[in-house]
Amino acid sequence: MLHLRVISPAELTDDVLELLDGAVGVVNLVLLPGAARSPKGDLVQFDVAREAANEVIERLQRLGLWAEGSIAAEQVDLSLSEAADRAEREAPGEGDDAVVWAEFARRVSDDSRLTWAFLAFLAIATQIAAIGVIVNSPVLIVGAMVLGPEFGAIAAVCFGLLRGDRRLIGTALRTLAVGFAAAVAVTFACALVSRGLGWIEPSSLTGHKEIEFIVKPDRWSFIVALLAGAAGVLSVTAGKSSALVGVFISVTTVPAAGYFAVAAALSRWDDMAWSVAQLGVNIAGMVISGTVTLIVQRAYWSRFGVRLPLRRPGGPGPG
């Protein structure tokens, strides 16, 4: 279930209540007239089954509440209510399969922004990956995969392609490009210092069989990227963060960037080229499968999702 808090101008409250009173999946409807002070208006609160949330939120937006009032949603972790259970049963589909598009749009918009936190996490992850490459440690490589924050921007590219939003696509691609360039530059500088101190040399990248997959892209690399992209989008839309960790461990974007930086510092040109290829294969595969997954989800919910106004038996008819 999702809990929605709506601040409605007094002149729109009757329309809001008419919309919600008999809508499938809506329960625990509460009206507090004049309770809101900024912006001024009536406070309307209710719970809605996740699989019915899209239509409700879209209709509230069409009433103009996003401009003249406010719409906020949060996940309900525990609901002990027979009425809530009945509302979930009445809504078509399963909550874990539902995509709340407004929630997803907000998340990918936030994740596509170039922030200091994004740059810091990506730079740290790339340096950990570089150290893992040097000491031939798969454990460090996996740790770097988990730490990398790049999937949020990749998901934003997928959503931008779905909606034809060039601005979002451009912002996300810029974040990826600048982020990886900065992370590689920092790691390259550190690797140069390490080479100057005699800690590493060109032979440091020789004979590392356990991590050769980082610089040897093949058909399996692309297939894994496709699977990871689909799983990543599903985990984000369903709110399954534990599954997203598995996605991070499946792809070698950050390790490829770390390998590239070390190879550049050691003047190993062939390894640099293969690292770039691996990075490109992973990003391309995730974008393709992530976009296809969103297209399938949109088509499914367009066909089988809730359409308002829908009334429960015995409830009032459409207004």
What does the pLDDT look like over 226-283, one tens digit per residue?
Answer: 998 898 888 888 766 655 666 666 678 899 999 999 999 998 888 889 899 999 999 9
Domain shared by 176 and 222, yes or no:
yes
Q: Looking at the predicted structure, is the pLDDT value of residue 311 above 50?
A: no
Environment class of 313 (CB within 10 Å of its CB; exposed 0-12, middle 13-18, buried 19+)? exposed
Domain membership of residue 317 (yes or no) is: no
Which of 97, 129, 158 terminates a domain? The answer is 97
Environment class of 85 (CB within 10 Å of its CB; exposed 0-12, middle 13-18, buried 19+)? middle
Domain membership of residue 308 (yes or no) is: no
Per-residue confidence band for 107, with pLDDT thresholds at 50, 70 and 90: confident
Measured on CA atoms in the order 231, 236, 242, 244, is the torsion positive or negative? positive
For residues 274 and 254, give the distance between their C-alpha atoms in angstroms, rounded to a whole number: 14
Contact call for residues 148 and 122 (beta carbons, < 8 A): yes
- Rounded to 5 degrees, what angle do the CA atoms 156, 160, 165 make? 135
The residue range of the domain holding 69 is 2-97
Domain shared by 155 and 294, yes or no:
yes
Q: Looking at the predicted structure, is the pLDDT value of residue 305 above 60?
A: no
Average pLDDT taken over every residue of the chain: 85
Of the ranges 86-95, 145-154, 281-290, which one carries the lowest mean pLDDT score? 86-95
Q: Looking at the predicted structure, is the pLDDT value of residue 172 above 60?
A: yes
Region 309-316: mean pLDDT is 42
- Please confirm whether the linkage preceding 39 is cis (ω < 30° from 0): yes
Region 204-229: mean pLDDT is 81
So what's the pLDDT on residue 314?
39
So what's the pLDDT on residue 289?
94
